[in-house]
């Protein structure tokens, strides 16, 4: 009989993960804390052509790219003369399961089937669970989704409950938990018990699957407009969305495009807090994941996270919950399409960016997602009121995460706020030092950190020296 205590299971996590992913991460370790990220992605993942073929087989990829012409007219009206870039949307809701995460799941589930696993497991409260379930159904594999749904009073957010329904509709078994450390512990126990494949969001397969999205954006934009986009905005949470898209753009030959991460500002709310869990109206695409995963990506459920946004992010902005609700209605009423909140985080940011960009420039919103009963603004705002959040219409600058949601009165009030990228990179370096106090950083480690935060080596050394003072 195995010891199933929390301490024992967590102590076996590396062995469990190795068996469940089929990757020996030790093969890529060097120095004292460094690892060969590029080597891992090249050796473990598939080529672009292989991934496109895999995805086509299960109704993923080649999604539409279109201009939001009516929204663009409004952007021009509230922009200074000569400003007001054109906004285009990559409609990822057209994928099987209804989000870009079908791209990640398609490669992971294919790989699981190729290696002979009988089933797949994912720990997620979001669209990725539905994507894994959809892909598993098409490939004849069993599927278990482990999901944080409730606070200690067994109150669940409408968006998470909607996603659980979606997973179940594809035949997955959904294990629903309350918020807290039991998620990872339960996940590990089930992996060990079943011997299923860990279809983690953060494996090289999952991240590489998103590369086809960036690749498509580049080629479709070139076909439509004879140029690559000037900016691509990706909703940022765990980091795979932006990382994969940026890598795909690079593989398509795009070298002069700003890759912008966008998150909902939930500053002050702790995602693992029972008290704060239901005081947010979005379950993903927010700073509660975006900041910690950027500043220390290896907090993931695999030994080395393949999503490493600071390598690729040129700019990081936040928008408010109210701005996302406003843009969701704008998209529906002006463009005739209803989409869920995750992609509309990027759309809100893109509208703000477009107002400061030249009118001959193009900004692409990198994703949309399906919508459903729990993803609509009305149930989300109703749930917010039930949890003591004050809802009003006015200046979104009055938004206070966990206390108020202020919905703009007009499009000219949408204004994304920049996150200090250097400060975020400094936090990453601080975490790298703090989490490895038993080792002395050598030249290989410094080179690795410099690549991971996209800073010159001498700048990294200077920051480390300041931290050690």
Q: For residue 362, what are its two tokens? A: 């193009």
Angle (CA) 101-454-352 rounded to 5° is 60
pTM for the model stands at 0.95
Do the Cβ atoms of 104 and 128 come closer than 8 Å?
yes
For 284, half-sphere exposure in the C-beta direction (CA atoms, 13 angstrom radius) is 28
For 340, half-sphere exposure in the C-beta direction (CA atoms, 13 angstrom radius) is 30
Report the alpha-carbon distance of residue 224 to residue 102 in Å, rounded.
25
Most confident option among 33-47, 199-213, 264-278: 199-213
Q: For residue 135, what are its two tokens? A: 């892909």
* Integer CA distances (angstroms), 340 to 350, 377, 430, in order: 16, 9, 36
Average pLDDT rounded to a whole number, residues 51-59 = 98
Listing DSSP states for 79-104 in one string gives S-TTB--EEEEE-GGGSTTSSTHHHH
Average pLDDT rounded to a whole number, residues 382-410 = 95
pLDDT of 44 strictly over 80:
no
pLDDT category of residue 438 using cuts at 50, 70 and 90: low
Which residues, at least 6 apart from 114, have a Cβ–Cβ distance to it below 8 Å? none
Any idea what DSSP says for residue 144? E
pLDDT category of residue 171 using cuts at 50, 70 and 90: very high
* Integer CA distances (angstroms), 296 to 37, 193, 304, 448, 458, in order: 15, 29, 11, 14, 21
Lowest mean pLDDT among 46-50, 278-282, 456-460: 278-282
Lowest mean pLDDT among 66-75, 282-291, 454-463: 282-291
Query: pLDDT tens digits, residue range 230-259?
Result: 999 999 999 999 999 999 999 999 999 999
Crossing angle (nearest 10°) for helices 240-251 and 204-225: 50
pLDDT of 17 strictly over 70:
yes
By CB neighbour count within 10 A (0-12 exposed, 13-18 middle, 19+ buried), where does 333 fall?
exposed
pLDDT category of residue 276 using cuts at 50, 70 and 90: confident
Q: For residue 140, what are its two tokens? A: 């004849």
Query: pLDDT tens digits, residue range 285-334?
Result: 999 999 999 999 998 888 899 999 999 999 999 999 999 999 999 999 99
Angle (CA) 66-331-218 rounded to 5° is 25
Q: Helix, strand, or coil here: 394? A: strand
Query: pLDDT tens digits, residue range 118-135?
Result: 999 999 877 999 999 999
Report the alpha-carbon distance of residue 320 to residue 323 in Å, rounded.
5
Q: Please give the pLDDT value at position 273.
A: 82
* Integer CA distances (angstroms), 6 to 9, 94, 354, in order: 5, 41, 49
* Integer CA distances (angstroms), 138 to 92, 110, 197, 362, 369, in order: 19, 10, 16, 37, 20
Between 440 and 308, name the one with better pLDDT.
308
**Residue written as token pair 């009165």:** 409
Report the alpha-carbon distance of residue 335 to residue 328 in Å, rounded.
10
What topology does CATH give the domain 6-49+99-203? Rossmann fold (3.40.50)
Q: Which of 361, 354, 282 is nearest to 317 (CA)?
A: 354
User: Please, where in the chain does CATH 3.40.50.1100 lie?
Assistant: 6-49+99-203, 61-97+205-418
Q: Please give the pLDDT value at position 392.
A: 97
pLDDT category of residue 169 using cuts at 50, 70 and 90: very high
Query: pLDDT tens digits, residue range 101-121?
Result: 999 999 999 999 999 999 999
Length of the chain: 469
Q: Please give the pLDDT value at position 111.
A: 96
Angle (CA) 324-231-239 rounded to 5° is 65
Q: Which of 292, 267, 281, 204 is nearest to 240 (CA)?
A: 204
Do the Cβ atoms of 391 and 378 come closer than 8 Å?
no
pLDDT category of residue 183 using cuts at 50, 70 and 90: confident
Lowest mean pLDDT among 14-23, 31-40, 339-348, 360-369: 14-23
Q: Please give the pLDDT value at position 405.
A: 96
User: Cα 465 vs. chain centroid, distance in angstroms?
Assistant: 32
* Cα distance between the two ends of the chain: 50
Report the alpha-carbon distance of residue 67 to residue 86 in Å, rounded.
7
Crossing angle (nearest 10°) for helices 443-453 and 37-44: 70
Q: Helix, strand, or coil here: 30? A: strand
Q: How many CB atoms lie within 10 A of CB 218?
A: 23
**Residue written as token pair 């960016």:** 353
The CATH classification of domain 61-97+205-418, taken from the options 3.50.50.60, 3.40.50.620, 3.40.50.1100, 3.60.15.10: 3.40.50.1100
Q: Please give the pLDDT value at position 13.
A: 87
Average pLDDT over the chain, rounded to whole?
Answer: 94
Between 46 and 216, name the one with better pLDDT.
216
Q: Which of 152, 159, 54, 153 is nearest to 96 (CA)?
A: 54
Q: How many CB atoms lie within 10 A of CB 115?
A: 10
Q: Which of 346, 357, 68, 310 is nearest to 234 (CA)?
A: 346
pLDDT of 272 strictly over 80:
no
H or E segment and range at residue 469: none
């Amino acid at each position: 009989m195995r010891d199933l205590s929390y301490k024992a299971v967590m102590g076996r996590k590396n062995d469990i993960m190795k068996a469940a992913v089929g990757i020996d991460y030790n093969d890529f370790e060097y120095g004292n804390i460094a690892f060969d990220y590029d080597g891992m992605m090249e050796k473990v993942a598939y080529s672009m052509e292989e991934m496109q073929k895999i995805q086509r087989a299960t109704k993923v990829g080649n999604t539409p790219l279109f201009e939001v012409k009516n929204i663009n007219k409004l952007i021009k009206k509230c922009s200074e003369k000569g400003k007001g870039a054109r906004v285009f949307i990559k409609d990822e809701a057209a994928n099987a399961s209804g989000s870009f995460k079908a791209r990640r799941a398609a490669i992971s589930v294919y790989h699981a089937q190729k290696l002979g696993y009988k089933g797949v497991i994912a720990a997620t409260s979001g669209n990725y669970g539905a994507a894994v379930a959809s892909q598993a159904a098409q490939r004849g594999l069993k599927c278990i989704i482990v999901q944080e749904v409730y606070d200690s009073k067994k109150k669940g957010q409408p968006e998470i409950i909607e996603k659980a329904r979606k997973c179940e509709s594809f035949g997955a078994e959904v294990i629903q938990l309350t918020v807290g450390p039991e998620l990872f512990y339960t996940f590990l126990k089930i992996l060990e018990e079943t011997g299923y494949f860990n279809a983690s969001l953060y494996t090289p397969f999952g991240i590489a699957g998103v590369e086809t999205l960036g690749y498509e954006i580049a080629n479709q934009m070139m076909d439509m407009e004879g140029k690559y986009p000037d900016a691509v905005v990706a909703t940022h949470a765990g980091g795979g969305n932006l990382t994969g898209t940026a890598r795909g753009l690079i593989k398509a030959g795009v070298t002069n495009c700003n890759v912008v991460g966008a998150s909902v500002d939930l500053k002050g709310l702790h995602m693992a807090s029972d008290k704060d869990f239901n005081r947010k109206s979005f379950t993903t695409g927010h700073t509660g994941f975006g900041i910690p995963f950027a500043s220390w990506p290896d907090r993931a459920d695999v030994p080395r996270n393949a999503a490493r946004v600071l390598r690729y992010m040129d700019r990081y902005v936040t928008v408010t919950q109210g701005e996302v609700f406003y843009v969701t209605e704008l998209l529906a009423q002006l463009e005739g399409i209803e989409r869920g909140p995750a992609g509309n985080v990027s759309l809100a940011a893109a509208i703000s960016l477009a107002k400061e960009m030249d009118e001959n420039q193009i900004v692409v919103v990198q994703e949309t997602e399906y919508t459903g009963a729990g993803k609509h603004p009305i149930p989300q705002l109703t749930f917010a009121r039930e949890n003591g959040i004050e809802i009003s219409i006015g200046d979104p600058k009055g938004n206070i995460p966990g206390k108020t949601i202020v919905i703009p009165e007009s499009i000219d009030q949408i204004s994304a706020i920049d996150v200090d990228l250097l400060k975020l990179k400094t936090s990453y370096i601080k975490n790298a030092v703090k989490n490895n106090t038993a080792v002395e950083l050598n030249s290989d480690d410094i080179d690795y950190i410099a690549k991971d935060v996209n800073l010159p080596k001498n700048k990294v050394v200077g920051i480390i020296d300041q931290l050690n003072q």
